[in-house]
Amino acid sequence: MRLTTKGRFAVTAMVDLALRGGDGPVTLAGISERQRISLSYLEQLFGKLRRHALVESVRGPGGGYCLAKDMHTVSVADIIRAVDEPIDATQCGGRENCHDDHRCMTHDLWTKLNDKIYEYLASVTLGDLVESQHVKNIAVLQDKREAAQTPAGKSAAYI
């Protein structure tokens, strides 16, 4: 199973990109600073994302990256698949040969686990993440407002 910080960074970076994709290309330097991810590492990741046609690049000053597709059509699974090797929880990698050229007793278990993981990651789109991010920001703003109104603070939680 391959699910590493590489994939996590890629998703984070893509959310950042989607959040400010509105006005022209977004630079890696910006993402690097906002998300605290090393610039060279981002370059590596975005190379793969571009080769998998998830983003498009614009070179030169004023350049950067844009989403290549609508954010609602890009799933988290797509992103992770682009930067990590394909997700696979089986020992044999689908070859069904890990016990003397025979499928082992647990092959089906891992295959089905793969399906479950993939199913979930494919069900969440970049758009979903962006939306939930907006909701959260609104929630945070409301929290702050409420906190300002009731300086007693936590007591509000016990109504």
Partner DNA sequence: CTTTACTCGACTAAAACAATCGGGTATTAT
Partner DNA sequence: ATAATACCCGATTGTTTTAGTCGAGTAAAG
User: Three-state DSSP class for 155?
Assistant: helix
Query: Mask 54-93, x = binds its own copies (CB under 8 A)?
Result: ----------------------x------------x-x--
Give the binding-site size for DNA (rule: CB under 7 A).
Answer: 29
DSSP 13-70: HHHHHHHT-SSS-B-HHHHHHHHT--HHHHHHHHHHHHHTTSEEEE-STT-EEEESS-
Regarding 52 and contact with DNA (CB under 7 A), the answer is no
Question: Over the Cα atoms of the chain, what is R_g?
Answer: 21
Q: Which partner in DNA, its own copies, ligand FES, none is near 61 (CB below 5 to 8 A by kind)?
A: DNA
Residue for token pair 């975005």: 46
Shortest CA distance to 80 belongs to which of 115, 30, 118, 47?
118
Q: Which partner in ligand FES, its own copies, DNA, none is near 43 (CB below 5 to 8 A by kind)?
A: DNA
User: Would you say 102 or 134 has its CB closer to DNA?
Assistant: 102
User: Would you say 4 or 38 has its CB closer to its own copies?
Assistant: 4
Regarding 38 and contact with DNA (CB under 7 A), the answer is yes
User: Would you say 11 or 49 has its CB closer to ligand FES?
Assistant: 11
User: Would you say 120 or 150 has its CB closer to its own copies?
Assistant: 120
Q: What angle do CA 40, 47, 44 make, to 5 degrees?
A: 25
Regarding 141 and contact with its own copies (CB under 8 A), the answer is no
Cα distance between residue 31 and residue 101, in whole Å:
47
Contact set with DNA (CB under 7 A): 2, 4-6, 9, 25-29, 38, 40-41, 43-44, 46-47, 50-51, 57-65, 85
